[in-house]
Amino acid sequence: MWRFELLAQDGKSRARRGRIQTAHGVVETPVFMPVGTQGTIKSLSPDEVRSLGAQIILGNTYHLSLRPGAERIARLGGLHAFMAWPGPILTDSGGFQVFSLATIRRIDEDGVTFQSHIDGSRHRITPERCMEIQELLGSDIAMCFDECTPYPVTREYARASMERTIRWAQRCRNAWKRRDQALFAIVQGGVFADLRLECAEALKAMDFPGYAVGSLAVGEPKEILLEVLDTVVPELPVDKPRYLMGVGMPEDLIEGVRRGIDMFDCVVPTRNARNGMLFTSWGAVQIKNSRYTDDPRPIEPGCSCYTCRKFSRAYLRHLFMARELLAYRLNSIHNLHYFLRLMEAVREAVEQGRFEAFREDFYRRRREGEPIDD
């Protein structure tokens, strides 16, 4: 039921084109995965997300285990039925919350104790409980429990965290029961190349269905992020999917694909949409800018999304400044459409052996800026 097939490799870079078969359908890679933290892509219905071209979405293990609870979701038919999403779902492990909720959690060798951000109650996640939650949710891809290390971090802490992540990965693998659910390991080690390589080697020996690179986009300079990818990705198995976790500006997707990444996720398109930042081929539009008050044009002329086909920049600015809920929906529709169409074009470029030319054109458009109407 689970299978990854490598379809094409770019001749001038590590960019590649693949296909993942899951119990809930096929995922064409490279792929961007919208984030549905609470079992929803904020402000949009599952049908809308599907119509925009999303193939696979994310659910958040930590948040869904707190509310409404993994056992309750399982009783109601699993996460696919609960949120009416027919396609594949990837669930994260809660490892990012080990980083983001550092002030209300305690790590020990056995696992992590969280104080709920909702009501202050205490919750325990171990590698075994992490697997149990994800199996109850019924996702197509589950992630090993790990620690997302911060930046900056000392070498000593990064090593201890990395070694613990390896031990937890083995415990997750031992607890893994559902073979209709692929289990991905996560390479840690901070910004230290030798630690990243050591972690990758240890995880490869356990033979997981897929591998992720974690603890990036947590404050480090962009050049360090790329250095880590240049170090780690060539050491990951060629015949397994490679997933860059939580990284998602458009240029990050392009550079990740260039280095051999197959899967991406990020809250950037939807969170930025709710903050009035709209993505286009020449860069970002800040819709609250007064220059758009009387602008009759769509966000991006030629864009086929519902927002651009129906509404002007002036109207979108009005909605955003008035804090109308429709602003968040229309902005999210456009941004997700942009991200998903970008990845569709990337896949086509890799298939046709012209990814490097595509990448050059991507940056050229940004250098030249918004086209001036004749």
Q: Which residues are catalytic?
A: 92, 265
The Cβ of residue 105 has, within 10 Å, a number of other Cβ atoms equal to 19
CA 234/CA 232 separation, integer angstroms: 6
The C-alpha R_g of the chain, in whole angstroms, comes to 21
Q: Which residues contact 185 (CB under 8 A, 6 or more apart)?
A: 144, 169, 172, 173, 203, 206, 208, 210, 211, 212
Token pair of 65 as six digits: 């285990």
Token pair of 215 as six digits: 């603890």
For 8, phi then psi, to 5°, come to -155, 155
- Contact in structure between 125 and 144 (CB atoms under 8 Å): no
- Contact in structure between 264 and 248 (CB atoms under 8 Å): yes
Helix axes 325-351, 250-258, angle to 10 degrees: 20
